Amino acid sequence: MISRRAALAIPSLLATPALAQGAFPQRALTLLVPFAAGGPTDMIGRLVAEGMAKELGQPVAVENVTGAGGTIAAARVAQARPDGYTLLIHHIGLASAATLYRRLPFDIQRGLSPLGVVSHTGMTLVARPDFPATDLAAYLAEIRSKGDALNLGHSGLGGSNQLCAMLLQHAAGRSVTNVVFRGSAPAMTELMAGRLDITCDQATVTAPFLRDNRIKGFAVTLPQRVPGLELPTTAELGVNLSMSAWHGLYATGGTPPEVQQRLAQAIRTALGEERLKQRFGETFTTVAAANEADPAHHAAFLGQEIERLRPLILAAGQFAD
């Protein structure tokens, strides 16, 4: 016969690992960055990790795990123990991967627990310095009239500039010749030299060249104008082309809700730090609003982005596997 004292102790034995071991976290965490050190995702990830560590009272080590459009790192997090100690930062490319990769070893929406959106970076519609258009309407008209005679550069399947290129051609109602580069830098070189006609890339990449009038800019794809970037938004010009190269953080699918909320609070604390805001601003990146650093909001937003991008990717008929 079980004593009353023993019976009262049984629920504590059935508690989740996180609760049974005490308040989360009890040791260092690891944040996987799916792209190379020094890039935009790495910079954002390290700043957020630094702020989270202060709030959590434990180190957050950053590890770069590159390859397959960021899906290698994502798979590693999806297959980790769901205890909140292994995290992922990824951008809009995770939403496109749900369609681009037909044989992923995990389900993006079930294998990962969204914790919060942390940043937004606008895409800019730009062209070579002597491109004949002077405003966005004329820019789109050039695409419609010349079609395949125009060259549009991007860095390959799943990247933010390739996704923007797809949205741009959809908005114009006409396809152009797509030229794939190994990254944004060579595309900018060709654009400045006049050998590439148009592209769509993050403001982080294009801003220095726009400031020096080495390329021509027409619009930014965020709902609001970007401080320090003298470009109108596609929305204010009445063009249905909205896109953010957003970043978000994830834990393993099935991570206990209380651990998710603890991590989300750490993210919100990190986003409130002045040093982070300053560094984001220097790269024309906007800090996500407080309500976006929330698991439920992030999960819904990820689902919306997957569904928004799916028909465009399927129509293009190009897949990464």
Mean pLDDT per 10-residue interval, the chain, length 321 residues: 39 40 90 92 96 98 94 97 98 96 95 98 97 97 97 90 94 96 92 97 94 96 91 96 96 98 98 96 94 97 96 90 84
Structural domain includes residue 230:
no
Q: Which of 220, 255, 273 is the last residue of a domain?
A: 220
Q: Which of 186, 220, 254 is the last residue of a domain?
A: 220
Structural domain includes residue 5:
no
Q: What gap in Å lies between CA 154 and CA 87, rounded to an integer? A: 29
Q: Are residues 104 and 141 in the same domain?
A: no
* Nearest C-alpha neighbor of 119 from the set 268, 285, 263, 266: 285
Q: Are residues 117 and 127 in the same domain?
A: no
pLDDT of residue 321: 84
Q: Are residues 115 and 251 in the same domain?
A: yes
- Give me the CATH number covering residue 37: 3.40.190.150
Answer whether the bond into residue 25 is a cis peptide, omega within 30°. Answer: yes
- The counts of H helices and E strands in the chain are 13, 11
For residues 10 and 42, the answer to whether their CB atoms sit within 8 Å is: no
Structural domain includes residue 231:
no
Residue with tokens 């982070």: 276
Amino acid making up residue 284: F
Q: Are residues 204 and 138 in the same domain?
A: yes
Q: What gap in Å lies between CA 262 and CA 68, rounded to an integer? A: 30
| Positive or negative: CA dihedral 28, 93, 220, 225 | negative
DSSP designation for 250: E
Query: Would you call 50 exposed, middle or buried from its count of C-beta atoms within 10 A (0-12, 13-18, 19+)?
Result: middle
Read off the pTM: 0.88
Q: Are residues 108 and 172 in the same domain?
A: no
Q: Are residues 164 and 98 in the same domain?
A: no
Q: What gap in Å lies between CA 201 and CA 191, rounded to an integer? A: 12
Answer whether the bond into residue 223 is a cis peptide, omega within 30°. Answer: no
Tokens of 161: 């500039």
Number of structural domains found in the chain: 2
Task: Provide the domain limits for residue 199.
Answer: 123-220
Tokens of 165: 């290129």
For residues 210 and 125, the answer to whether their CB atoms sit within 8 Å is: no
- Give me the CATH number covering residue 203: 3.40.190.10
pLDDT of residue 4: 39
Q: Are residues 127 and 114 in the same domain?
A: no
Structural domain includes residue 227:
no
* Nearest C-alpha neighbor of 133 from the set 219, 195, 65, 73: 219
Structural domain includes residue 116:
yes
